Structure 1
Amino acid sequence: MISERKGTLSVQLYTFRDAYAADPDGTLERLAGLGFRYVEPFAVGSAGQPGIEHLKRAQALKRSLDAAGLKSPSAHIGAPIGEHAEAVLDALETLGIHRGVISWPGEVPGFERDVMSTLPGTQRFAEALNTAAANMARRGLQLGFHNHWWEWATLEHGGSAYATLLELLDPAVFMELDVYWAQTAGQDPQRLLTTLGQRAQLLHLKDGPAVPDQPQVQLGQGRVDNLAAIRAAPWIDWHILEMDSTDGDVFAEVAASAGTLIREGVSAW
């Protein structure tokens, strides 16, 4: 049954990383002009930045968001563990972000992309995420994990890395399901969302050939049925648009995708 409940639109700022690097304030103002009220920043408290920079960058971003009239319910973050844990948490609180998402293993100190290619690596990674989640919980914040396509590698015990990670993680760690990358991995996004249930709290939506490292397109012009995925998970409040790359104008492509979701009655500003 299709729910009449609508998700709220947001957009991952990584989509506009080139424009944002050149003109952060202008980029945010342009997104607000398209109709967005919410954005999902990236690299907040990133493991690749000096700890002393976390709060300074968060304060600057907060000023820019406020000036554009935008808010950030979620962000891609560096894991709050180790010597810079408190600085990362301070940055999140400064921005008013309650849900921090690990976008790939490199945002967890000591880990790289291929960590989930083995069972021991997946176990160590889950332990680190659980530590980060506990640190966030002390401040009333939630930790999530965002997938790409490589997490469905088959491990030594015969299960997928993604399923194994889910079993090992504290149930409080939620999933930001990237519908596009899940299908690229050979998964059925609708079935996966049914399996995840309430564990899935955010959706990343994009379209294209469902092939790694290929340009993406506006929703409805590729191989991924994002509408079916949305309708399979009516409990999810946030519909977050993203494009890793495109041959078109990225602002126009994202605006068209937002318009599609609004016209279909599944999302709202």
Structure 2
Amino acid sequence: MSSPSVQLYSVRDAVDANVDDAIARLAEIGFTKAEPYAFHLRTADLKRALTAAGVEAPSGHAPVIDAEDPAVIFDAAAELGIHTVIDPFIPTERWQTADQVKGLAERVNELAQQAAARGLEFGYHNHQWEFTNKLDGRPVFELFAEQLEPGVVLEVDTFWATVGGADAPAVLRSLGERVRAIHVKDGRIDEAIRDVLPSSESALIVPEALKAAFENQTPAGQGDVDVKAILAAAPAALRVVEFDAYKGDVFAGIAESFAWLAENDSEAAA
């Protein structure tokens, strides 16, 4: 197990302002890995910034499931050295019925085969609604995972799984080696936000209750999430520090999570 990564979405404002400086600041904290988002839209800029900072990108986020030409995204991943491509968002409206879940699983299975032909892995990243939404009393995420072919990987956002009512360590143990990465994220777990959803157009368009939940996120080990148990349940998964938002200086919060992992996660420190 190598050093942790950081999701660049956490510092999206800094990335938009100057991607080179943003990634350099993360490298100064100690990160040697980063997880780009929408990397197919600014591949050359990211490649330049990552190379200059000595940072690699083992995983990355992009909207592959709905892409008209997934090959464009997979080619961009190969250009950046990204091995694990993750689709981070399918809205709650498409996780309501068994047929919808089956259709999503089939699409992900197909995309994983396309990725494998290029020497890549493909998978999905959850929010809370994949656990909040239930069919026959079971979270739809569980039904989805059961229909995935062995080559499909998952990145579990452990904060949102917890918000959705899941026992995140148990989920990780049940998925085993399929979990390639976890989002290490902490904060207040408030049942009031369990059913609060973003726009169906984008995870970035959120109501006030979710904005508050984002701002109440904390560095690892300072919130309500049992981060130590989560890490122990997924010893082989890449740790990816992420904040949806933060009340203070997000680079300082990321640095606190990095330091906490070095002190509390023997796998991340290895």
| TM-score by shorter chain over 0.5 | yes
Q: Is 1:169 equivalent to 2:148 in the alignment?
A: yes
Tell me whether 1:207 sits opposite 2:186 in the alignment: yes
CA contact under 8 A between 1:81 and 1:131: conserved in structure 2? no
- Structure 2 CA distance for aligned equivalents of residues 80 and 119 of structure 1: 18
What letter corresponds to residue 169 of structure 1 in structure 2? L
Residue among 72, 77, 88 paired with 1:103: 88
Give the C-alpha shift of residue 92 in structure 1: 0.8
The answer for the alignment partner of 1:222 in structure 2 is 223
Q: Counterparts of 1:47-126 in structure 2 under 5 Å?
A: 54=41, 57-79=42-64, 83-105=68-90, 112-126=91-105
Cα separation, 2, equivalents of 1:15 and 1:68:
18
Residues 191, 83 of structure 1: CA spacing in aligned structure 2 closer, same or farther, 3 A cutoff?
closer
Q: 1:35 to 1:229 in 2, by over 3 A?
A: same
8 Å Cα contact 2:95/2:133 also seen in 1: no
The answer for the alignment partner of 1:182 in structure 2 is 161
Letter of the 2:37 partner, please give it.
F
After superposition, the C-alpha distances for 1:41-97 in whole angstroms (9 at most, x for unaligned) are: 00123xxxxxxxx4xx21221111111111100001221776422221211111011
What displacement does 1:99 show? 0.3
State the percentage of identical aligned residues.
37
Match of 1:90, SS state, is: helix
Give the aligned CA root-mean-square deviation in angstroms: 1.7
Q: What per-residue deviation string (whole Å, max 9, x for no partner) do you get for residues 103-154 of structure 1?
A: 112xxxxxx4420122221112112111211111110110021111000244
Question: Contact between 1:80 and 1:89, CA under 8 Å: does it hold in 2?
Answer: no
Distance change in 2, residues 1:193/1:7 (3 Å) = farther
Number of residue pairs aligned between Structure 1 and Structure 2: 247
CA deviation string 1:151-183 (max 9, x = no partner):
024444443210111112212111111111111
Q: Which moved more, 1:72-81 or 1:186-195?
A: 72-81
CA–CA distance in structure 2, aligned partners of residues 153 and 261 of structure 1: 29
Q: Structure 1 residues 83, 190: CA separation in 2 closer, same or farther (over 3 Å shift)?
A: closer
Partners in 2 of 1:160 and 1:178 — Cα distance?
15
Q: Aligned partners of 1:121 and 1:265: how far apart in 2?
A: 38
For 1:248, the equivalent position in structure 2 comes to 248
